[in-house]
Amino acid sequence: MKIAKENWSWVREPRVYKIEENTIEIITEPKTDLWQRTYYHFRNDNAPLLQIKTKEEYFSFVVKTTFDSKVRFDQCGIVIYLDSENWLKASIEYENKDIQHLGSVVTNHGYSDWATTVISSSVKTIWYRLSRRKDDYCIEGSYDGINFFQMRVCHLFKGNEEISFGVYACSPENSSFKAQFTDFEITECKWNAHDGQSPDKELF
């Protein structure tokens, strides 16, 4: 998939970035992040996001991320940002020289959560696949771009009409690093309709 610049738009344009036909690069700025309220109680909403809009209800978006993160909480990945209180993101978040967190955050009505798993800090490349089925979403990861594993299934209460989705990078502490995004694809929905257990019957 070639990157048509005219179809993408910034939410908080960074000072340093590069957009080419098949590559997007972002140099993060210190003290940038996305988080709302839960547990930490603070609200951070200043990370740069580059997104495209769609009304398509069923699709999958794939991108490869490569990064040289090196300070705690450095992160880059995929994002659906509807407004400051309704969004989701998936990324690898650096912790220290040994470990980092592969995870996702879903924010509905101004409250964020965080689901993570610990991986080695030697990982500096990962693919993400974001799939939409109306207002439900599936986030997957892959270390080779071929075999994807499920990270999360979630719901966005305001994600049932036109949405904006794309990529982001940020450095919540006093840091800066280069995040590179390549191998973009938008395809038919790779997240199949559920064909297993039937919904529970009404009890009353």
- pLDDT tens digits along 123-144: 999 999 999 999 999 999 999 9
Buried b / exposed e along 106-145 (16+ C-beta atoms within 10 A): bbbeeebbeeeeebebeeeebbbbbbbbeeebbbbbeeee
Q: What is the pLDDT of residue 204?
A: 47
Average confidence (pLDDT) over 71-83: 98
pTM attached to this predicted model: 0.94
Fold (CATH) for 5-187? Jelly Rolls (2.60.120)
- pLDDT tens digits along 102-127: 999 999 999 999 999 999 999 999 99
User: In the predicted model, is pLDDT for residue 198 greater than 90?
Assistant: no
3 state SS of 147: coil
Between residues 39 and 197, which one has the greater pLDDT? 39
User: In the predicted model, is pLDDT for residue 160 greater than 80?
Assistant: yes
